[in-house]
Chains A and B, each alone.
Chain A
């Protein structure tokens, strides 16, 4: 999942970015209001972590601008202002969640995951597709009751496919949501990760859940095979 981290304190931004990346998030960083505005408007992020006290452009102003422009990316406001009035003002300006500094990294991650689930209209933190079960909270995967260990990137890919299960996901979508702006991996990196994932998810089990749609992309099998229509995620 790709998030935009808007934070002007460099040390905090660096640590936070590291923490998020280690959790499998693709993180873009913006250090001032203008940069944040530009990135948010040009890229479809799964979520934005927004500090309110920013050089050049205030966080709330940015948020209002995005909302009035029809941008509905989920925004988690992260600020040192902890007053109730500030919270209310932040939420009323269109924020989806609010977290005051200093915060627990775990809480930030949990809230961020919840926001992303909400973005795909999923409420149950455990996604179940056939005998595959993905615990988005614990970031663990089981198939037929057997635990499968995935790297953060593999997990992120599976999760992304699961959010769109029953629907074709293009390579560029995967690229756009799972790799950040600085990633200079080779172009077939998505295919490489799909192969890793198939080895772990489908190799020892039947039926294969990750399907390849030639010329389009990949698809995780729908929940009830062909009979039910899969939940439709937002077109990202």
Chain B
């Protein structure tokens, strides 16, 4: 059996699961999107930070290497000196005034060109014995190039014009390069001036202040590395501070000369094999991992929060619905209890429908009403069956008594004949009664079908009158039929005949000596017919008039002249007139007579 509570619960559950599922899905999607966005931003930040730090490291490295280049230049000082002495010796015989000034710009340029070889010690470069190089260095000077072996034949070319010479004369530029072997590297180009021009001074005498975060790659280049550091502007052309033995290129008041510059390209692959990059990459990866882990944890926590929330909501709702449905069903429970109290002996619904909520109230009220009607019908049935049994018992008693008396002793043939005759009379009376009861029962049960046809009312009435007339004349009554012209009507002739017959019987039976019975029929203005049965009989008091159509009611039970006296005649009349769709009315005055009127519509 279906349980209302369970059905409701299941439906609510399904609804809840669907709606909560949708809500959680969208919440999850949105929140996860936000989390992923945050993750992406954080990752970007880490990447940017890593890029900055890498660039810084790269620039530091480039500066170091630039310093190294400068120190290499310095190391060839002997060669410069050699070249200078050669030049000097060569110029002595040419110029009579002696020693030509070699401090001029051209001479400086020349000496630089001749003495400089922008070469780096490969040992300073990061290389792996197996892997291809991950540090690629190239130095470019006024037309001369030096490339690290890691570059093999590649050339780290660059558009020198894009590196606009600035007033600083030292600048850096970062970019990404794709090497011909497909490797993408980060390059920094440092434009550095050649700062150390000391013909006799030794570089290790100058010990300028050192920056702590730029350790020299080797002891031998400490000084120069430090000197080449950027952005120490001490050596810039605009710098006024000169320390130690370091001399030119100091701008001369006469216009001076520009310090020679060289470019140093340094390129790194993003590889943890690079010891300088390794901590950065490690740091970056750790951060990224932390961010990813954090995000995953957040997503997991979001998921579990949502799951628990949904589960909690479902549980709470189920419990609530269980309780609420129980509360909602309480009136029904009360009603069903009340209904269970109804017994065949007591049809009363033992509860006040007004105490029920408005949804259930109509049910209870209808039920109460139906029960009342049922009880009334029951009572009617009971009374009817009592009446029927009563009506049958009297003739039955007469029958049995007659038979018993006849059989008590031997009698004459004439006596037996008389007894049998009595019995036949009683049986006839009973069968007549049973027939009438059945007529009503059929009509009640609805198995009695109307068979309407075209009927000539005058013929029908006079047909009935031929039966009634002798009875009336026996009693000394005047019997008149008044149907002036033919009236055609569409109705069930059998039922109408029964109606007229019953009324005529009554009119005869309840008449007074010398009275009259009149039957008349006429067409009414609305197309129907009006049938009247009038008598000048004893009439009926108003209190009797109310009851005459009740079954088994008899105004005066002693009247049995026509043989039909079970109190069913008028009940049948009423039933049939109703079935025919007509209207029955009666007027009566005690001592003067009674008039029955039947109004029938023309069509059924």
- B398 to A11, Cβ gap below 8 A? yes
Q: State whether the Cβ of A102 lies closer than 8 Å to any Cβ in chain B.
A: yes
Q: Is the CB of B409 within 8 A of A103?
A: no
Chain A residue nearest to B404 (CB atoms) is A105
Cα(A106)–Cα(B408), bound, Å: 10
Known contacts A80-B389, A83-B386, A102-B399; is-contact A15 B405 (Cβ 8 Å): yes
Judged by a CB distance under 8 angstroms, whether B396 is at the interface is yes
The one of B394, B404, B422 in contact with A19, judged by C-beta atoms closer than 8 angstroms, is B404
User: Of the 9-residue stretches A52-60, A110-118, A209-217, which lies at the interface with chain B?
Assistant: A52-60
Residue of chain A at shortest CB distance from B402? A15
B395 A9 Cβ-Cβ under 8 A? yes
B456 CB to closest chain A CB (Å) equals 41
Binary interface profile of A, 147-159, with partner B (CB < 8 Å = 1, else 0)?
0000000000000
- Judged by a CB distance under 8 angstroms, whether B393 is at the interface is yes
Which A residues lie within 8 Å of B559 (CB)? 55
Contacts of B399 in A (CB 8 A): 102
Instruction: Give residues of chain A (13-31) contacting chain B, Cβ–Cβ below 8 Å.
Output: 14-16, 18-19, 22, 31
A12, A80, A100: the one contacting B401 at CB < 8 Å is: A12
What chain A residues lie within 8 Å of B425 (beta carbons)?
11
Which residues of chain B in 383-414 are interfacial with respect to chain A, using CB atoms and an 8 Å cutoff? Answer: 386, 389-391, 393-402, 404-405, 408-409
Decide if B398 touches A9 in the complex (CB within 8 Å): yes
Residue contact A55 to B393, C-beta cutoff 8 Å: no
Known: A80-B393, A81-B390. A8 touches B405 (CB 8 A): no
A78's closest neighbor in chain B, by CB?
B397
Given contacts A11-B398, A32-B558, contact A82 B393 (CB under 8 A): yes
**Is B557 interfacial (CB-CB < 8 Å)?**
yes
Nearest residue, chain B, Cβ from A33: B558
Contacts A31-B558, A54-B557, A56-B558 given; indicate if A12 touches B394 (C-beta within 8 A): yes
Q: What 0/1 pattern do residues 95 to 111 of A give for CB contact below 8 A with B?
A: 00000111111100000
Residues of A within 8 A of B389 (CB): 80, 82
CB B414 to nearest CB in A, in angstroms, measures: 14
Check A19–B401 contact: CB distance below 8 A.
yes
B159 within 8 A of A: no
Using known A-B contacts A15-B405, A19-B401, determine if residue A101 contacts B393 with beta carbons closer than 8 Å: yes
B408 touches A11 (CB 8 A): no
What is the CB-to-nearest-CB distance from B318 to chain A, in angstroms, rounded to a whole number? 58
- B396 near A101 (CB under 8 angstroms)? yes
Give the Cβ gap from A214 to chain B, nearest Cβ, in Å.
39
How distant is A81 from chain B, measured CB to nearest CB, in Å?
A: 6
Interfacial residues of chain A within 37-90, with CB under 8 A of chain B in the complex = 53-56, 80-83
Q: How far is the CB of A83 from chain B (nearest CB, A)?
A: 7
Complex Cα–Cα for A18 and B425 (A): 18
Inter-subunit contact B405/A18 (CB<8 Å): yes
B426 at the interface (CB under 8 A from A): yes
A105 touches B401 (CB 8 A): yes
* Chain B hits for A54, CB < 8 A: 557
Minimal beta-carbon separation of B421 from chain A (angstroms): 10
Decide yes or no: A53 and B386 within 8 Å by CB, A9-B395, A22-B409, A80-B394 being known contacts: no
Interface residue B200 (Cβ < 8 Å from any Cβ of A): no
Determine if B556 is an interface residue (Cβ-Cβ < 8 Å). Answer: yes
Closest residue of chain A to B405 (Cβ to Cβ) is A19
* Partner among A11, A82, A83, A101 whose Cβ is within 8 Å of the Cβ of B402: A11
CB neighbours (8 Å) of A102 from chain B are 393, 396-397, 399-401
Q: Which of B397, B422, B556, B558 contacts A80 (CB 8 A)?
A: B397
Whole-angstrom distance from the CB of A50 to the nearest CB of chain B?
14
Nearest-neighbour CB distance to chain A for B391, whole angstroms, equals 8
The distance from the CB of B427 to the nearest CB of chain A, in whole angstroms, is 11
Query: Provided the pairs A19-B408, A101-B396 are in contact, do residues A53 and B557 lie with their beta carbons within 8 angstroms?
Result: yes
Please state if B402 and A22 are interface contacts (CB–CB under 8 Å): no
Q: A11 touching B390 by the CB < 8 A rule?
A: no
Cα distance, A147 to B408, chains bound together (Å) = 22
Q: Which residues of B contact A83 (CB under 8 A)?
A: 386
Contacts of A101 in B (CB 8 A): 393-394, 396-397
Cβ contact within 8 Å between A11 and B393: no
- Among residues of A, the one whose C-beta sits closest to the C-beta of B560 is A10
**Which residue of chain B is the closest to A106 with respect to CB atoms?**
B404
Interface hub of B390, B558, B559 (most chain A Cβ within 10 A): B390
Decide if A8 touches B397 in the complex (CB within 8 Å). no
How distant is A229 from chain B, measured CB to nearest CB, in Å? 39
Chain A nearest Cβ from B579, distance in angstroms:
30
CA distance A21 to B76 in the complex (A): 179
Contacts of A8 in B (CB 8 A): 557-558
Contact B408–A15 (Cβ < 8 Å):
no
Q: Are A80 and B398 in contact (CB under 8 A)?
A: no
Assess the B398–A81 pair: CB atoms within 8 A: no
Kindly list chain B residues whose C-beta atoms are within 8 Å of the C-beta of A100.
393
Task: Knowing A9-B398, A11-B425, say if A105 contacts B405 (CB, 8 Å).
Answer: yes
Give the CA-CA distance A16 to B389 in the complex, in Å: 21
- With a cutoff of 8 Å between Cβ atoms, the chain A residues found around residue B422 in the complex are 11, 14-15
Q: Is the CB of A103 within 8 A of B397?
A: yes
Minimum CB–CB distance for B397 against chain A, Å: 4
B32 → chain A, closest Cβ, in Å? 84
Question: Once bound together, how far apart are the Cα atoms of A22 and B394, in whole Å?
Answer: 22
Q: Of B401, B556, B558, which contacts A15 at CB under 8 A?
A: B401
CB neighbours (8 Å) of A18 from chain B are 405
Which residue in chain B gives the minimum CB-CB distance to A51? B394
Contact of A53 among B390, B396, B401, B408 (CB under 8 A): B390
Closest to A103 in B: B397
Given A9-B398, A11-B402, A11-B425; A80-B390 close (CB under 8 Å): yes
Q: Which residue of A lies closest to B392 (CB)?
A: A80
Whose C-beta in chain A lies nearest to the C-beta of B559? A55
Q: Which residues of A contact B394 (CB under 8 A)?
A: 9, 12, 53, 80, 101
Per-residue B-contact encoding for A183-209, CB less than 8 Å = 1, 0 else: 000000000000000000000000000
A-B contact pairs, 13 of them (CB 8 A): A9-B394, A11-B395, A11-B398, A12-B395, A12-B397, A12-B398, A15-B401, A15-B419, A55-B557, A80-B391, A82-B393, A102-B399, A105-B408
| Shortest beta-carbon contacts, A-B, top 6 | A55-B558, A12-B398, A101-B397, A80-B393, A15-B402, A19-B405
Given contact pairs A81-B390, A105-B401, A105-B408, enumerate 6 new A-B contacts (beta carbons under 8 Å). Answer: A11-B398, A11-B425, A15-B401, A15-B402, A18-B405, A82-B393
